[in-house]
Structure 1
Amino acid sequence: MNLHSRRHWVIGDVHGCHQPLCQLLATLPPNDHLVFCGDVINRGEAIPATMNLVWDLVQAGRATWLRGNHEQDLIDALESRDGLSQHATYAQLGDSSARQWLPRLQQLPLVYRGDGWCATHAGFDAAGQPDLSIRDPFWEAYDGRFGQVVVGHTPRLQVERLGAIVLIDTGAVYGGCLSAYCPQTDAVVQVEGAATDAVLAGVGPC
């Protein structure tokens, strides 16, 4: 079956929440294609296990892992050797393992394009280029040129639709949900995120 003719599930920011991710994967149809919307890494307590799980899915052809701003920040730090002490991912991986991950992270795409929809981490700039940190300017100015756009990056209480934009980061690492969205059916599947004392304002339980 052609990859783009299969159903897809775009998964919001995982941020090292390994157990919730395992629970979500057990809930989703096994033959559908998974698109991780970036920020698989950082913040959570099980970052290496989460990275290995997602990478194994990529290698098996079941998933696409998009680059988020946290992956880009780690790439930049590893390439420059500047600011590494600030990265939870680097601390959990250790230097040797982080160096081994660099070429994998460097090949992560910025956009996944489906039939009438696409996924990217945060949105597109005024020139139509993927922007890993954009928020309101994209939401306010998007002209529909790429069809429905599914993004993570900005935690919400629930999956939220802003016209042709779907926001699917529901704050799993802050005790919210880990969410998956199917652009072909508009379905949402959620599991409880990490149990944590770090609660983000506006993000609640599933």
Structure 2
Amino acid sequence: MRTLAIGDIHGGCRALTQVLERAEITPNDKLIFLGDYVDGWSQSAQVIDYLIELSTRNKCIFIKGNHDVWCEQWLAEGNVNDVWYVHGGKETIESYEGYSKARKLEHLDFFETMPLYHLDDENRLFIHAGFTSMHGVQKEIHREAFYYDRTLWEMALTLDKRIKRDSELFPNRLKHYKEIYIGHTPTTRYHKYEPMQAANVWNIDTGAAFTGKLSAIDINSKKVFQSNTLMHLYPDEMGRNK
């Protein structure tokens, strides 16, 4: 059985189906999604439909991202967060056109039951963004850090590679876990179009919302599977390239 971690989808259902086909997913595979399923391309509601159906065939874990929090608030209360609206919320709202109240409630339940992080039996952490407590996720005071924090990735990225894990200089935040898998910060910001590793942190957000691709990684073999560039899968749209 494989375990695959999948990066930020941002409404790109065509990329989602493509990357799973290229990974040749079977019902024996465990899939861990790192959040941000919505906001960007035109198929956010359809992504949620697909994931709900997928979870009936595969063992799936759906981590909650910051865009998912905003969409959940809209589905629950009808509130349109101004920041959300200009960062993909408009396209998400439009994707729900024609959806019944019952179907929207089903999606709301999907969002509400998402965990904020997942720890597997090999002490590997899966989380959308990061955490700030030097004592680990279970001691985090600010739960918003799980889907907003960028300091964990920035710390790992700037860590001197000569500092080994058993060194007193190795950050305590990173010592708690064998590996950490995140999304949230597109690798395209660093002109990288594949998942990036820094220390024991793997960033799987390869810019699907913008000019990049959707990525999945086999966490044991580290084999990477990618969709086409989403700009080519949605040639008449801008995504979040605005």
TM-score range, shorter chain: 0.7 to 0.9
TM-score of the superposition, structure 1-length normalised? 0.84
> Is 1:134 aligned to residue 170 of structure 2?
no
Q: Secondary structure at the match of 2:174?
A: coil
Change (3 A) 1:123 1:92: same
Matched residues in 2 for 1:187 and 1:116: separation? 20
Q: Report the equivalent of 2:230.
A: 194
Q: Report the equivalent of 2:17.
A: 22
1:153 to 184, 192, 197: 184
TM-score of the superposition, structure 2-length normalised? 0.72
Deviates more, 1:110-119 or 1:85-94: 85-94
**Structure 1 residue runs of 4 or more that deviate by more than 4 Å after TM superposition:** 196-201
Q: Report the equivalent of 2:32.
A: 35
Q: Report the equivalent of 1:89.
A: 92
Deviates more, 1:12-21 or 1:138-147: 138-147
Matched residues in 2 for 1:120 and 1:92: separation? 26
Q: Report the equivalent of 2:114.
A: 108
Q: Is the 8 A contact 1:74 1:84 kept in 2?
A: no
For 1:38-49, what aligned pairs fall within 5 Å after superposition?
38-49=35-46
Q: Report the equivalent of 2:7.
A: 12
Matched residues in 1 for 2:47 and 2:186: separation? 19
Deviates more, 1:39-48 or 1:122-131: 122-131
Matched residues in 1 for 2:9 and 2:240: separation? 15
% identity of equivalent residues: 22
Figure out how many residues of one structure are paired with residues of the other and give that number.
196
Change (3 A) 1:76 1:175: same
Matched residues in 2 for 1:50 and 1:139: separation? 29
Runs of at least 5 residues in structure 2 that lack an aligned partner in the other structure:
156-170
Q: Is the 8 A contact 1:16 1:46 kept in 2?
A: yes
Deviation, 1:73, is: 1.4
RMSD: 2.4
For residues 108-150 of structure 1, give each alpha carbon's deviation from its aligned partner in whole angstroms, at most 9, with x where no partner exists: 1111222131211111222533611000255425332022000
Q: Report the equivalent of 2:62.
A: 65
Q: Secondary structure at the match of 1:173?
A: coil
Q: Secondary structure at the match of 2:224?
A: strand
> Is 1:162 aligned to residue 198 of structure 2?
yes
Looking at secondary structure, tell me which structure has more strand per residue. 1
Runs of at least 5 residues in structure 1 that lack an aligned partner in the other structure:
1-5, 202-206
Deviation, 1:56, is: 1.1
